[in-house]
Amino acid sequence: MTAISNHRSYPLDPPRFVDAPPMLRAVGVTKRYRHVNAVESADVEVYPGEVLGIVGESGSGKSTLLRLLNLEEQPETGEYTLNIPGVTGQNLFALDRFARREVQIQHIGMVYQNPFLGLRMNFTSSGNVAERLLITGERRYETLRTKARTSLLASEFPIDRMDDPPRVLSGGMQQRVQLAKALALQPQLLLLDEPTTGLDVSVQALVLDTLKRLQRERHITIVIVSHDLGVIRTLSDRVIVMRYGRIVEVGLADQILNDPQDAYTQQLVHAKL
Amino acid sequence: MRLLQVEGLEKRFFIHHLGREIPVFDRLDFTVDEGEFIHVSGVNGAGKSSLLRCLYRSYLATGGHAYYQSWRGSIDLVCAADVDIAILRREEIGFVTQFLNPRPRVSALELVAEPLLNAGSDLEPALERAREMLSAFGLKQDLWGAYPTTFSGGEQQKVNLARALIHPFRLLLLDEPTASLDSAARVSLMARLRELKMQGVAIIGIFHHPQEIQHLIDQEVRLTLPTTENDYVVE
């Protein structure tokens, strides 16, 4: 029997047909918590308009990697660049706290699994969205309200409830408020951490559909973390598989799901009901 | 013009938890020109679907080459970068399976128009073309706005074909597209395939009843079970 490496048996060629450089590039990212390497030497590239899925079981480091990409945490090592006018070529991990916050607000939208992390539950929903605009200096009440409304409509939020606080909304609606807030400043990068986990299956389908439509219409680059392979199959072009903080396999979504190469990925895919 | 050149293509699966390797096919050679119609034949398990999936890169071939002449240049489908394959799937290479993958609350019309929208078309022309396709495949007009999740197998397959054939791909991979189709829909499928072939689209297909497409076939790639003998025949 011929020996087969853990990954694919041969390397793939570098890209030749893509017109633009990667929108997001993170190289050699390592994040340590005490003695545990939560993320270890991770390399990630995402091209403009692409949807990258990150899968792996709890504790694999996938959410940590996403928080690093959202500049919420600092890694021990690594370089992170976004190909966006104004920040191109800068290592975002090396920026000071204020500059990082600025990049995060202007260019990155984030949706958390837990709406408590992303929303003020007792503010109005429209206020939650408008807050993003306020940070950038918009002060006119009418403009704030119109823009918040537009953003809520784009995420298919039932607009007659825009002045209700998220506290009284259903899980699906809360995720739509988070999405509207994330998109309020029209970022080029959207990061999603288990955005539909915990929602009813039918509500989950609707939220996924909204995401798919927004991605196509606005050509947003998306990184989505999920342990649900169905969600990943529906949304992603390419998939990264993580285990114990390491990336064990990268490939086209249907290839990862139909012809996984790595031993762990084979287990993961076959464990799906 | 030569569109695809397959050289020594090989597929094996390695199942880690069994510690076993499963051979599917090897030493496969054939070429495909524009407008050519290739029929892939062989018994169940001979690797017909695997061959199509290797060319579409749903499977990773374990050896050999598949040089494809894209509008953007020549590229080996076996080891091209994932992002390049994604571009080819949007623009040039289509895959038609036996099954529709309907999404909840997405109408038949929207599903059919989607490949055009993904390739950058405007909404109205895409919907117009989708209506033409659905009507060509004979899906009742009442169903166009409905959700295919609840459709019968035959109705789903009509939506599936309309969706798969709406974009002008250059290379089409067909995995038993006639399964569960009524005879009227089969006739429109044959008509559509003939039309595409005339336009220069190359087609590689698996058909359960090849007599239906006999008049379209230019070349046959026959796969045999990979037992002791690893031969295959190209006629």
Give pLDDT tens digits for B120-131: 899 999 999 999
Q: Which of A12, A241, A243 to mutate to probe the B interface, most B CBs <10 Å?
A: A12
Chain B residues whose beta carbon lies within 8 Å of the beta carbon of residue A2:
21
Q: Residues B55, B32: contact at Cβ < 8 Å?
A: no
- Residues, chain B: 235
Q: Please determine, looking at this structure, whether the domain spanning A20-270 carries the CATH number 3.40.50.300.
A: yes
Contact B81 A251 (CB under 8 A): no
- Looking at residue A243, what is its pLDDT? 95
Query: What residue has token string 């191109």?
Result: A88
Residues in a beta bridge with B182: none
Residue predicted with more confidence, B149 or B229:
B149
pLDDT grade, residue B227 (50/70/90)? low
- Structure confidence at residue A2 (pLDDT): 37
**Which pLDDT tens digit goes with each residue over A134-187?**
988 889 999 999 999 999 999 999 999 999 999 999 999 999 999 999 999 999
**Order of all β-strands in the sheet with A189-193:** A108-111, A189-193, A221-225, A51-55, A238-243, A246-252
With 0.80 as the threshold, say if the pTM is over it.
yes
Collect all residues of chain B within an 8 Å Cβ-Cβ radius of residue A10.
79
- Average pLDDT (A77-84) is 97
Average of per-residue pLDDT across B160-186? 90
A10 pLDDT band, cuts 50/70/90, is confident
The answer to whether A20 contacts chain B (CB < 8 Å) is no
Quote the pLDDT of residue A221. Answer: 96
Decide if A261 and B13 are in contact by the 8 Å CB cutoff: no
Q: Residue A128: enclosing H or E segment and its boundaries?
A: helix A125-135
Provide the 8-state DSSP code for A12. Answer: P
**Closest chain A residue to B56 measured between Cα atoms?**
A255
Which contacts of A155-163 are long-range, i.e. CB under 8 A and separated by 24 or more positions? A155/A179, A155/A180, A155/A183, A155/A210, A155/A214, A156/A206, A156/A210, A157/A125, A161/A125, A162/A124, A162/A125, A162/A126, A163/A124, A163/A125, A163/A126
Contacts of A17 in chain B (CB under 8 A): 70, 72-73, 75, 83-84, 87-88
Instruction: Give yes or no for B14 touching A (CB within 8 A).
Output: yes
Interface check A200 vs B, CB under 8 A = no
Nearest-angstrom CA–CA distance, B87 and A33 = 39
In angstroms, the CA A173 to CA A193 distance is: 16
What residues of chain B lie within 8 A of the CB of A241, using their CB? none
Between CA A200 and CA A105 the distance in angstroms is: 30
Lowest-confidence region among A100-104, A150-154, B96-100, B190-194 = B96-100
Contact flag B103-A13 (C-beta cutoff 8 Å): no
Question: What's the confidence (pLDDT) of residue A272?
Answer: 65
Indicate if the pLDDT at residue A205 is higher than 90. no
For B86, the closest of A2, A206, A237 (CB atoms) is: A237
Closest CA to B171 of B133, B197, B137: B197
CB contact at 8 A, B178 and B165: no
HEC states along chain B? CEEEEEEEEEEEEEECCCCEEEEEEEEEEEEEECCCEEEEECCCCCCHHHHHHHHHCCCCCCEEEEEEEECCEEEECCCCCHHHHHHHHHHCEEEECCCCCCCCCCCHHHHHHHHHHHCCCCHHHHHHHHHHHHHHCCCCHHHCCCCHHHCCHHHHHHHHHHHHHCCCCCEEEEECCCCCCCHHHHHHHHHHHHHHHHCCCEEEEECCCHHHHHHHCCEEEECCCCCCCCCCEEC
Interface touch B21/A1, C-beta < 8 Å? yes
* Cβ burial A5-40 (10 Å sphere, 16+ → b, else e): eeebeeebeebebbeeebbbbbeebbbeeeeebbbb
**What band does A3 get if pLDDT is binned at 50, 70 and 90?**
very low
User: With contacts defined as CB-CB under 8 Å, which chain A residues touch B16?
Assistant: 262-263, 266-267
Q: Which residue has the tokens 């993904």?
A: B118
Binding-face residues of B in 34-93 toward A, CB within 8 A: 53, 57-60, 62-63, 70, 72-73, 75-76, 79-88
* Structure letter (DSSP) for residue A11: P
pLDDT higher than threshold 50 for residue B232: no
**Pick from A255, A259, A266: which is nearest to B17 by CB?**
A266
- The CA–CA distances, whole Å, from B198 to B37, B94, B195 equal 10, 17, 5
C-beta of residue B114 within 8 angstroms of C-beta of residue A46: no
Reported as type and span, the H/E element at residue A37 is strand A36-46
Of B60, B63, B117, the CB nearest to A255: B60
User: CA of A246: how far to CAs of A23, A27, B151, in Å?
Assistant: 22, 13, 43
On chain A, the residues whose CB falls within 8 A of the CB of B88 are 17
CA distance A26 to chain B (A): 17
pLDDT in tens, A206-219: 888 889 888 888 88
How many alpha carbons fall within 13 Å on the CB side of residue A72? 13
**Residue A251 contacts B, CB cutoff 8 Å:** yes
- The pLDDT of residue A206 is 85
For B17-72, how does the pLDDT look when each residue is reduced to its tens digit (9 = 90+)?
888 899 999 999 999 999 999 999 998 889 999 999 999 999 999 999 999 999 99
CB contacts of B86 in chain A (<8 Å) are 50, 237-238, 252
What rounded mean pLDDT belongs to chain B?
Answer: 90
- Cβ contact (<8 Å) for A16 and B58? no
Residue A254 near residue B58 (C-beta atoms within 8 A): yes
What does the pLDDT look like over B59-95, one tens digit per residue? 999 999 999 999 999 999 999 999 999 999 999 999 9
> In Å, how far is A25's CA from the nearest CA of chain B?
14
Q: What's the average model confidence in pLDDT over A224-234?
A: 91
Q: List, in order, residues 6 or more apart from B34 with CB less than 8 Å away.
A: B1, B2, B3, B170, B200, B201, B202
Closest of A204, A202, A158, A197 to residue A177, by C-alpha: A158
**Quick one: closest CA in A to B20, which residue?**
A1
Verify whether the Cβ–Cβ distance B72 to A17 is below 8 Å: yes
Residues 208-227 of A with CB under 8 A from B: 208-209, 216
Mean pLDDT over the full length of chain A = 91
Cα–Cα distance measured from residue B123 to residue A216, given in angstroms and rounded to the nearest whole number: 12
Shortest CB distance from A13 goes to which of B81, B86, B118?
B81
Angle subtended at Cα B193 by Cα B221 and Cα B153, rounded to the nearest 5 degrees = 95
Query: How near does any CA of chain A get to the CA of B52, in Å?
Result: 13
Residues A65 and A54 sit within 8 Å (Cβ to Cβ): yes
Nearest CA in chain A to B117: A216
Structure tokens at A144: 């704030």
